[in-house]
Structures are given as C-alpha cells and as structure tokens.
Amino acid sequence: MIKEIYQVLGISAEVYAYGAAIEKELSERFLQFDRTAEYNQLKVLLAMQKNRVSEECFGSSSGYGYNDYGRETLEKVYADTFHTEACLVRPQITCGTHALAIAMFGNLRPGDEILAPAGKPYDTLEEVIGIRPSAGSLAEYGVTYRQVDLLPDGSFDYENIRKAIRPNTRLVEIQRSKGYQTRPSFSVAQIGELIRFVKEIKPDVICMVDNCYGEFVGTIEPSDVGADMTVGSLIKNPGGGLAPIGGYIAGTKACVENAAHRMTCPGLGSEVGATLGVNRSFFQGFFLAPMITKGALKGAVFAANVFERLGFPVIPNGKEQRNDIIQAITFNEPAKMTAFCKGIQHAAPVDSYVDPEPWDMPGYDSPVIMAAGAFIQGSSIELSADGPMKPPYAAYFQGGLTYEHAKLGVLKALQYMLDENLLKAADLLRS
Ligand SMILES: *Cc1c(COP(=O)(O)O)cnc(C)c1O
C-alpha cells in the first residue's frame, strides 16, 4: 500500500526501493536522534513547568505592549532552556539577520572592532557589518571588522586569532552552521574551545554565536560553553514550525538589554513590544521544536546518504556527527541543482505545482534558487532547499516538519534527476 501511494506521488518503484534500502541502514542513527530529542523535550518541559506556564500566557497585547505576561514568561522559558540570565524573544525581530544585527548594534560603539575568528559570517551579515559597503552598516558608525580564516584543514587558526585580538576588539562573531559555505559546521564543543581561547587573551570580549539551524541538534547550546549571546531565528528550529515570525537573543543580562535598546530604542528596551496574538504559537512551537528538529535531522541524514552514494559531494557526509540541520549537496551543474530544487518544491504541501526559478535576493550577491512550499513564508524549518546559482552549484537542503515529508522531498528530487536524464537508473543499482 505504501509503495502505491508513493507511485501516485510520482515515485518509481526503483527510486522507492533505493530509498527504502538506505533508510533501513540508518535505523541506529535515527535512534540516536530520538534520544537527543527526548532529552531536549524534557529540558523544554522543565523550563515551562519551572516558570509556571499557564493559560494566561497565551493572551495577546496591543499598542505599547506593557506588562505582557505571556511574553515575559516565554522569555524566561527560553533563558532557562539556554541556561542564560536573560533572553529577548520577539515578533518585532523580523528574521535571524535582524536578531544578529541588533545584537551587534546594541553592544558595539564607535571605535570598537568585530573579530570573526572562524571565517566570514553569513552572507546577509556582510552588509550589516559593512564588509560589503551598505547604507547604515556598522562600518558607517565607525565599527571596524577583522577576519581570520579557517586553516585549510578546517580548524581554527589560533596563532593568527591571537594576533588579531586588539585592544579595541569588542565582539567576536562565530557562526555555528556552515551557512552558504562548504566548510563543516562547528560542534558546540569546538565553539566552546574557541571562546575559551579568546577569553583567555581578552576576558571582556563579547562572544556572539550565530546559532541559526543549530538549536536542539545536540544536548548543549553555545550558551552552555561561554557564549555571551546566542542568537537565532524563530522560523528555523526553535519556532518549531509554528512561530510565524521572530528571533531570539539569549545571553547575559547586560548584552540582552543592550540589544533590546536597539530593537526598540534607548530608554524603552524590552519594556515595550506588543505580541499581537503570537504568544501561543511561540510557546507551542518551542515545545515542539526538539521533535521538529529531530525530523529535520533524519531528513538531512537520509538526503546525505541518498546523494553521497550517487557520487555527489555532500557536507556533512552520510556518517558524520551533525551540528546543524543543513545538508549541502554539490551538483557542479546548474541543471542538476535546478532539478533537485524542483523535486523538493513538488513534494510540498503548499505551492507544489510551481517551479522554482533563480532570482536576485536582497542581501545576496548572486541569484539564489529557493524551493519551498511552506505554510510560513521563507520558513526554513519547513522543508526547503536553496543555494546561490554559482559554482560549485551547491544546494543547501534543510527542514521538514516531519521526517516523512523530508523523505518524500528527497525521493522526488532524485526522481526528477532521473526523469530529466541527469542521472541513469543504472546508477541507483550500482551504488
Ligand atoms: C538563516 C541564517 C541566518 C539569518 O538569516 P535570515 O534569513 O535573516 O533569518 C544567519 N546565519 C545563518 C547561519 C543562517 O542559517
């Protein structure tokens, strides 16, 4: 029966069998993800119980949004989950880039320097920092930037990081996930080691970790290993697919307050900000987030194994430890990348009938192709695939509110590549 419904969905018997064989080999791996999710589910539950989440928390505020009980409780739940003094969790934070931007703008002053000790930050931060000249960037406010690239083997270049730390180094930016790069994502332990090194040299430096896509992948977060600010988007892991917008900054009270003064304005800080009815989705999404992240992880590992065996370079590889939910697959040819994205799109619950096209996106320096049929626009905890249309034509696959949906997406992508003669059915048998 299951084969038949796959067939109705356009998956041939060969593709189905190929996927089923791979899935079978992954059962032990999947069990590990179940255990991590179980731990994280309990961690979130504990934080909710400790803070006495109640029906009253699901109320809505309007106007200034003073004394929004749900918002205040939610921020405590986040802070307790991340083991931080404070957390800002708001619908006024429009996306991950915005959260990272206010974290930096709020905590930096003219003359300060940002150091990226683990290579270039995420593409959209180039304009926030002013690495690419941009109106309103930190560079325009007299904040300078320095970067130390990773060594060829992907490890931190400690010798040059030491040299790059100056008297005015104020904030260190570390991106956990690979983003649109083909380097590996860092483990929380690796990030902890880097933070310890930096703080030994200059204890007052603020360590900020871009935690996008990393939440609940493991049992600890960057905030558990010394990060002063851990920052992310609610339309990724911690929103659990239900948050319709938002971002968070978990960290020290001082850092979070500084960020709040930039999110609203000096003097008002976190005291204002109506929640307009999103509290329930924020709570419920955060409650589900460990489980949703687990499904996405299983989908990513399935995708890695499906395409690795067909000879495509994949990062991480099919067996490596996971530090985020992103799966990079390198196609080397635009046609293969487009066919892959088409498959993901056509597997979606929303907009399954449209074809994705490469397009210029604000914040990105080349056209980007994006496949997403999401309930929430641009939500990449929902099944999505995207990537810049430039060599090496690497697509970044992530999300899936359920593993079953992610699996269909992968099979559908493979099916398109076969149907469009970009792969041969014999390749499936050979691998
Ligand atoms: C998604 C993401 C961001 C922020 O992107 P938005 O699209 O603004 O939410 C930042 N860093 C990384 C690594 C990301 O994956």
**What digits encode the pLDDT tens for the residues 134-167?**
999 999 999 999 999 999 999 999 999 999 999 9
Does the beta carbon of 210 lie inside 6 Å of ligand 1?
Answer: yes
Does the beta carbon of 307 lie inside 6 Å of ligand 1?
Answer: no
> So what's the pLDDT on residue 414?
97
The rounded distance, in Å, linking the Cα atoms of 154 and 199 is 21
The rounded distance, in Å, linking the Cα atoms of 73 and 191 is 29
> So what's the pLDDT on residue 424?
87
Confidence of residue 176 (pLDDT cuts 50, 70, 90): very high
Minimal-distance CA residue to ligand 1 atom 6: 96
Does the beta carbon of 214 lie inside 6 Å of ligand 1?
Answer: no
Mean pLDDT of 87-96: 98
Q: What percent of the chain has pLDDT over 90?
A: 94
Tokens, residue 3? 């084969």
Minimal-distance CA residue to ligand 1 atom 9: 96
CATH 3.40.640.10 region(s) of the chain? 60-286
Minimal-distance CA residue to ligand 1 atom 2: 212
Does the beta carbon of 398 lie inside 6 Å of ligand 1?
Answer: no
Ligand 1 centroid distance, CA of 96 (Å): 5
The rounded distance, in Å, linking the Cα atoms of 69 and 322 is 36
- Amino acid identity for residue 233 in this structure: S
> Can you tell me which atom of ligand 1 is nearest the CA of 176?
13
Exposure b/e, 369-382, CB count within 10 A at least 16 = b: bbbbbbebeebbbb
SS (H, E, C) the chain: CHHHHHHHCCCCHHHHHHHHHHHHHCHHHHHHHHHHHHHHHHHHHHHHHHCCCCHHHHCCCCCCCCCCHHHHHHHHHHHHHHCCCEEEEECCCCCHHHHHHHHHHHHCCCCCEEEEECECCCCCHHHHHCCCCCCCCHHHHCCEEEECCCCCCCCCCHHHHHHHCCCCEEEEEEECCCCCCCCCCCCHHHHHHHHHHHHHHCCCCEEEEECCCCCCCCCCCHHHHCCCEEEEECCCHHHCCCCCCCEEEEECHHHHHHHHHHHCCCCCHHHCCCCCCCHHHHHHHHHHHHHHHHHHHHHHHHHHHHHHCCCCCEECCCCCCCCCCCEEEECCCHHHHHHHHHHHHHCCCCCCCCCCCCECCCCCCCCEEEEECCCCCCCCCCCEEEEECCCCCEEEEECCCCHHHHHHHHHHHHHHHHHCCCCCHHHHHHC
CATH 3.90.1150.60 region(s) of the chain? 2-40+289-430
Q: Which CATH class is domain 60-286?
A: alpha beta
- pTM given for the model: 0.96
Does the beta carbon of 212 lie inside 6 Å of ligand 1?
Answer: yes
Cis peptide before 392 (omega within 30 of 0): yes
Tens digits of per-residue pLDDT, 205-239? 999 999 999 999 999 999 999 999 999 999 999 99
Ligand 1 centroid distance, CA of 233 (Å): 7
367 Cβ contact partners less than 8 Å away, ≥ 6 residues apart = 358, 359, 360, 361, 388, 389
> So what's the pLDDT on residue 362?
76
> So what's the pLDDT on residue 430?
74
Phi, psi angles (nearest 5°) of residue 247? -150, 170
Ligand 1 centroid distance, CA of 178 (Å): 10
pLDDT above 90: residue 180: no
pLDDT above 90: residue 179: no
Query: Quick check: 226 and 205 in contact, CB under 8 A?
Result: no
Ligand 1 centroid distance, CA of 196 (Å): 25
Does the beta carbon of 179 lie inside 6 Å of ligand 1?
Answer: yes
Mean pLDDT of 118-132: 95
pLDDT above 70: residue 363: no
Q: Which of 361, 320, 359 is nearest to 341 (CA)?
A: 359
Ligand 1 centroid distance, CA of 98 (Å): 9
CATH architecture of 2-40+289-430: Alpha-Beta Complex (3.90)
Does the beta carbon of 259 lie inside 6 Å of ligand 1?
Answer: no
Exposure b/e, 5-24, CB count within 10 A at least 16 = b: ebeeebbbeebbebbeebbe
Mean pLDDT of 30-39: 98
The rounded distance, in Å, linking the Cα atoms of 208 and 273 is 24
Mean pLDDT of 345-370: 91
Tens digits of per-residue pLDDT, 280-331? 999 999 999 999 999 999 999 999 999 999 999 999 999 999 999 999 999 9
Average confidence score pLDDT of the chain: 96
Cis peptide before 316 (omega within 30 of 0): yes
